[in-house]
Amino acid sequence: MKLAAKDISISLGNEQIIHDICLEVKAGEFVGLIGPNGSGKSTLLKSIYRVLKPVAGRIFLDGDDLYQLAPRESARRMAVVRQESSVEFDFTVLEMVLMGRSPHKGMFQMDTPEDMHIGKEALARVGMTDYSERSFFSLSGGEKKRVLIARALAQQAELLVLDEPTNHLDVRYQLQVMDLVKQLGIPVLSALHDLNLAAMYCDRLYVLKAGRIVASGCPDEILTADLIREVYEVETDVSIHPV
Ligand code: ADP
Ligand code: MG
Ligand code: MG
């Protein structure tokens, strides 16, 4: 699977938030999107998961124009873990995971034994078998993220897109979530807040500032003190330490 965004511009109201961005995720890659708060990471990701249509540019999934695909078809190819995991109903953990199966089914089709098998395997893979019957509402932030990753697994998509999956988690859960994502074996595009995690897990990074990509490359090359000072507008000495 390959994702390619070409010359994407996005406007909200009268304001252009994203300016002519090109971005690629190739097979086997874990690609990070970093940049200060308000730089446009979430806005850009929303255009990739079809919440915000770009005013210009095109997005391709394996050569197919994303916005020409049936929504169900794009959901078969791409799984999404959004920043907020709000749900309006009190679903169980297993029910949440089984939602990942819906893109593969027709309307009004019940879960088959195969769907149940896939859902339970996905829960086992994130170490949450014992939580199947728990209410999703009752889980902690880290547990919710793991369930949403299990849902993405059950979806059997070819690409995973995440928006700051480690927000509000302590270090142990941050590493657990990042390890899980890394182990999925599908290409990943993730907005990340934490530069240490970006350095540890990503093969390649795009650095966003004020809606433009100002640097890209492998973490070792681009995460220099100078770049961080400039992009994040900090005065003090900065360096990246492994967690
Ligand atoms: P990030 O995810 O990098 O923190 P966002 O994509 O959330 O950045 O925001 C980028 C810019 O778009 C910010 O200036 C923000 O204020 C603005 N923005 C976000 N959502 C809206 C909206 N619904 N209407 C207008 N401006 C918005
Ligand atoms: Mg933010
Ligand atoms: Mg954001």
State which of 17, 46, 52, 189 you would mutate to test the pocket of ligand 1, scoring each by most atoms of that ligand within 8 A of its C-beta.
17
Residue nearest to atom 25 of ligand 1 (CA): 12
In ligand 1, which atom is closest to the CA atom of 208?
3
Reported ipTM: the value is 0.93
Q: How far apart are CA 31 and CA 217, in angstroms?
A: 10
210 CA from centroid of ligand 1 (Å): 10
Q: What is the pTM (predicted TM-score) of this model? A: 0.93
Compute the average pLDDT of residues 94-107: 93
- Position 107 scores a pLDDT of 83
Helix (H, G, I), strand (E, B) or coil at 238: coil
CA distances from 159 to 148, 152, 185 (A): 14, 9, 9
Domains and CATH numbers, the chain: 3-232 (3.40.50.300)
37 CA from centroid of ligand 2 (Å): 4
pLDDT digits (tens, 9 = 90+) for 219-240: 999 999 889 999 999 887 777 6
Closest among 98, 95, 93, 97 to 134, alpha carbons compared: 93
